[in-house]
Amino acid sequence: MSRKGPLEGVFFMNGDIACAEGAISAGCRFFAGYPITPATEVAERMAERLPEVGGTFIQMEDEIASMAAILGGSWAGVKSMTSTSGPGFSLMMENIGLGAMTETPCVVVDVQRAGPSTGLPTLTAQGDMMQARWGSHGLYSIIALSPSSPQEMFDLTVKAFNLSEQYRTPVLVMADESVGHMSERVVIPPADRIPLVPRRKPTVPPEKYKPYEPDEDLVPPMANAGEGYRFHVTGLTHDERGYPVMTAEAQGKLVKRLLGKIDLNRDRIIEIEEDGVRNAEVIVCSYGISARVAKLAVNEAREGGIKVGMLRLITVWPFPEKRIRELARRIKAFVVPELNAGQIALEVERCAGGAAPVVLVPHMGGAVHEPRDILEAIRKAAR
Amino acid sequence: MNESGNDLHDAVEALLREDRIPHIWCPGCGLGTVLHTFLRALVRSGLDLKKVVVVSGIGCTGRAAGYVKLDSFHTTHGRAIPFATGLKLANPELKVVLFSGDGDLVAIGGNHLIHAARRNMDLTVVCVNNFNYGMTGGQVGPTTPVSGRTSTSPYGNCEFPFNLPHLVAAAGAVYVARWTSLDGRRLEKTIIEALFKKGFSFVEVITPCPTQYGRKNKQPTGLAQMEYYRSMSVIKHGADPSEVGIELGGPITVGKFVDIERPTFAEMQAEILAKAFAPRSGKDPAAAKA
């Protein structure tokens, strides 16, 4: 057996493996996880690859431990990731909250399967999109990305690490079983062509360091354990020194910053892909595997003379509120196909604010949409 | 106090976040003593304190992380051990010490405790056992003795408790000891030993909680609980861990029960990987041809 560094070149690989390779290329050197269909291949690939690049893999006793371990790994100064699916994602929620509260960069991959509960372990769904936003208790913002292809499993995993370091937050890669298990061409650029965001380090000596004193963009520089800063980190409401403060005032100040550092930087964070929206009367808004299926319906509708545009969410959270609002003023309707009973559709509806109706094309998961169902919705919306 | 005593006192004070005092612990609580003893052990260990990280979970004991002037993490309830596991594996240079309570480590965190012991993860655990959930008002826990009264076992506890040394020894801990908070010097020596022990070391410290537990169990003050420890604790180094369970009002066996050698998780991983990545042997057909 020989040791291989980060890959470079053109590959045929599935989305889960591309995700693991994205993590390796992003500099992830610690992975803690627990087997779960359909995300297991991410962990398996990391188990094989991390030792080759000098990193550490551990299979923990459950997903709670996995999530806690990657927070610890990140505080030790090492880029850290875990991967899971619905049931494990539920178990991770409390420690995702700890990650948000303590502003710990890390990446969590959820390869979604149909739920609730054990549901359809091997079959696709997009039922965790609201859980991604709101799943942990209390008030926080989060960043979540939605890949539509194995290539994006690679690209968005790299991006997730960069965003997590830039904004000091857990970043969620909200994949689905279809994208995780499909195999396609994946291009991995040379390492020097993959821009990486380094951790923002304190510029003051240890005695002056306040671990939660933010820079202008509301993100505080981060010292790692063992560097001599002697800082305290707690999940309790805390002040800029990191000390617990049990007052409404401290709560207001901290939580407003936690929300603000993502919400106020949303224009820098959000990435969407638009196709033919300029003259569109109807816009299909979708993400993940559903966006690919919708593309077929959009093409067919265009052939039938309907002016239909496509807006694909690459960043799902924070939501591209401003753009949806702008578009709502000049179109007849949005069509939102998703593999759930209506989650992102609610958000589109909220942002559209009544200016344009939103037609949900729901699907309870276990398969992808029939393109004709989406086409039918487009036709109705265009009338 | 002699000169070196003063130096030690100063060194311990330097490890406390004085701007966070007064602490939250009740009068008569043993946590101050245990924390002080822990810090003395750290000073006397001569370890590079820059590399020492204290991790705790939730509860009265969990607050200790917030009082020490070291890199310290106050995590989620029960999850201090996996958090610490991540720290240690990502940076093996760190000396990672857990300081948490019985409810946190053994009830909600029990699964992580046994798995860390099984893996022989290189962590030192100081487990303060006060037989109940103090912070939330004195509820029954997995360490409460049979018949022990708490706010959720008002007629007496009907569950059998864990014998912690037996539990962690069976799971694979390489160093297991128990003292009461009365045994300051012995505890200090034991914590130093545990800090230098490679692998999963576990030190249980029986500690008074007069406010929530003692008052309901005929030991209404810290002093009364300490008097119980003085009269009823028996030192038995090398005692069989299966025989050191604690009954209500019964004897408390203390001492060092386990001190064995077993490769740590990191050592095992390094060994397995070294084999896997070793240059191919002569038996390998591809290598033989070359």
Cβ contact, residue pair B86, A233, below 8 Å: no
CB contact under 8 A, A68 and B269: no
Asked if B99 has any chain A CB less than 8 Å from its own CB, the reply is no
A76 in Cβ contact with A70 (< 8 Å): no
- Please state the separation of Cα A12 from the chain's center in Å: 23
pLDDT at B6: 86
How much is the pLDDT for A124? 98
Q: Which segments in chain A show pLDDT lower than 70? A: 1-3
B18/A contact by beta carbon, under 8 A: no
Query: Rounded mean pLDDT of B130-157?
Result: 98
Terminal Cα distance for chain A, rounded: 62
Q: What is the ipTM of this complex?
A: 0.97
Q: Which residue of A has its CA nearest to B286?
A: A1
Q: Is the pLDDT of residue B1 over 90?
A: no
Whether residue B87 and residue A225 make contact (CB cut-off 8 A), yes or no, is yes
Interface-testing mutation among A30, A58, A209, with chain B (most B C-beta atoms within 10 A) = A58
Task: Give the pairing type, strands A30-33 and A315-317.
Answer: unpaired
CB atoms within 10 A of CB A326: 14
Amino acid A97 reads G
CATH classification code of A274-382: 3.40.50.920
Predicted confidence (pLDDT) at residue B5 exceeds the cutoff of 90:
no
SS3 of residue A105 by DSSP: coil
> What is the token pair recorded at A349?
């509806």
pLDDT digit string, tens, across residues B28-39: 999 999 999 999
Best interface-test mutation with B: which of A71, A78, A93, A246 has the largest number of B CBs within 10 A?
A71
Name which of B53, B86, B273 is nearest A71 (Cβ-Cβ). B86
**Is 80 exceeded by the pLDDT of residue B281?**
no
Chain A residues touching residue B81 (CB < 8 angstroms): 65
* C-beta atoms surrounding B45 within 10 Å: 18
pLDDT of the residue at B286: 45
**Model pLDDT for residues A267-286, shown as the tens digit of each residue:** 999 999 999 999 999 999 99
Helix count (H) and strand count (E) of chain A? 13, 16
- Helix (H/G/I), strand (E/B), else coil: A69: helix
Name beta bridge partners: A9: A188
Considering only CB atoms, A235 lies closest to which of B20, B74, B91, namely B74
pLDDT digits (tens, 9 = 90+) for B112-123: 999 999 999 999
Cα torsion angle, B141, B142, B147, B152, sign? positive
Give yes or no for a contact between A21 and A45, defined as CB atoms under 8 angstroms apart: yes
Q: Which residue of B has its CA nearest to A237?
A: B74
- The domain defined by A9-193 folds into Rossmann fold (3.40.50)
In SS3 terms, chain B reads as CCHHHHHHHHHHHHCECHHHCCCCCCCCCCHHHHHHHHHHHHHHHCCCHHHEEEEECCCCHHHHHHHECCEEEECCCCCHHHHHHHHHHHCCCCEEEEEEEHHHHHHHCHHHHHHHHHHCCCCEEEEEECCCECCCCCECCCCCCCCCCECCECCCCCCCCCCHHHHHHHHCCCEEEEEECCCHHHHHHHHHHHHHCCCCEEEEEECCCHHHHHHHHCCCCHHHHHHHHHHHEEECCCCCHHHCCCCCCCCEEEEEEEECCCCCHHHHHHHHHHHHHCCCCCCCHHHHHC
Contact B86, A224 (CB under 8 A): no
Q: How far apart are CA A289 and CA A181, in angstroms?
A: 11
Location of structure tokens 């991390």: A50
Answer whether residue B287 shows pLDDT above 90: no
Upper half-sphere CA count for residue B16 (Cβ side, 13 Å): 19
| Stretch (H or E) spanning A379 | helix A371-382
Q: How confident is the model at residue B290 (pLDDT cuts 50, 70, 90)?
A: very low
Burial group, residue A245, by CB count within 10 angstroms (0-12, 13-18, 19+): middle
Instruction: Select from B75, B76, B112 the Cβ nearest to the Cβ of A61.
Output: B112
**Average pLDDT score over chain A:** 97
SS (H, E, C) A292-329: HHHHHHHHHHHHCCCCEEEEEECEEECCCHHHHHHHHC
CA distances from A18 to A40, A54, A65, A157, A183 (A): 13, 19, 24, 9, 9
Domains along chain B?
Answer: 3-263 (3.40.50.970)
The Cα B290–Cα B280 span in angstroms is 11
- Whole-number pLDDT of residue B285: 46
Paired sense of beta strands B52-56 and B95-101, if any:
parallel
Tens-place pLDDT, residues B6-54 = 899 999 999 999 999 899 999 999 999 999 999 999 999 999 999 999 9
Give residue limits of the domains in chain A. 9-193, 274-382
Closest-CA distance, B139 to chain A, in angstroms, reads: 22
Q: Rounded to 10 degrees, what is the CA torsion of A348, A349, A352, A355?
A: 150
Name residues 67-96 of chain B within 8 A of A (Cβ): 69-76, 79, 81-91, 93-94
